[in-house]
């Protein structure tokens, strides 16, 4: 009686593992991408929430005229403790640019918060750094 596996048995195991790998790789990749997207969305909401808290503490700096706006840089929110010091983009694994920020617009009696990639390009808004 021989001990061990035959070549056919070993090849069968390798084929089964290869098929499993081919089936599972797209599922795992999709789950990782979905998690990154959810983390990005969550970070944007945290930055907006930080801007709302900044607004509550700096109400005198907010616009009071319809359709006027201000922009608050992410660096300001970080330095004043409204968001974490290290906010990382899950796609690039690098910190968000210092020009990243939030545009706060007064419209219909309410404030609207919009996260922007570059607050310096917004000439119609006063920028708080």
Tell me what pLDDT residue 62 has.
Answer: 87
Tell me what pLDDT residue 3 has.
Answer: 81
Tell me what pLDDT residue 55 has.
Answer: 93
Tell me what pLDDT residue 1 has.
Answer: 62
State pLDDT tens for residues 90-125: 888 888 887 889 999 988 888 999 998 887 755 578
Within a domain: residue 23? yes
Within a domain: residue 45? yes
Within a domain: residue 115? yes
Tell me what pLDDT residue 47 has.
Answer: 92
Tell me what pLDDT residue 98 has.
Answer: 77
Within a domain: residue 90? yes
Within a domain: residue 98? yes
User: Is residue 45 a contact partner of residue 99, using CB atoms and an 8 Å limit?
Assistant: no
Closest CA to 48 of 111, 92, 91: 111
Parent domain of 15: 7-128
Tell me what pLDDT residue 42 has.
Answer: 92
Q: How many domains does the chain have?
A: 1
75, burial (CB in 10 Å: exposed 0-12, middle 13-18, buried 19+):
middle
Q: What is the rounded distance in angstroms from the CA atom of residue 47 to the CA atom of residue 114?
A: 10
Tell me what pLDDT residue 90 has.
Answer: 85
Residue 69 C-alpha from the chain's centroid = 23
Low-confidence ranges of the chain (pLDDT < 70): 1, 121-123
């Amino acid at each position: 009686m021989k001990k061990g596996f035959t070549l056919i048995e070993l090849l069968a195991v390798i084929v089964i593992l290869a098929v499993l790998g081919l089936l599972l790789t797209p599922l795992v990749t999709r789950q990782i991408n979905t998690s990154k997207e959810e983390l990005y969305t969550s970070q944007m909401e945290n930055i907006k929430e930080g801007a709302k808290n900044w607004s509550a503490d700096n109400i005198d700096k907010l616009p009071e005229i319809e359709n006027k706006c201000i922009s608050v840089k992410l660096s300001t929110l970080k330095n004043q403790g409204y968001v974490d010091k290290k906010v990382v983009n899950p796609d690039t694994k690098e910190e968000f640019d210092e020009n990243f920020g939030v545009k706060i617009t007064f419209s219909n009696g309410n404030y609207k918060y919009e996260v922007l990639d570059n607050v310096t390009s917004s000439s119609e808004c006063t920028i708080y750094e």
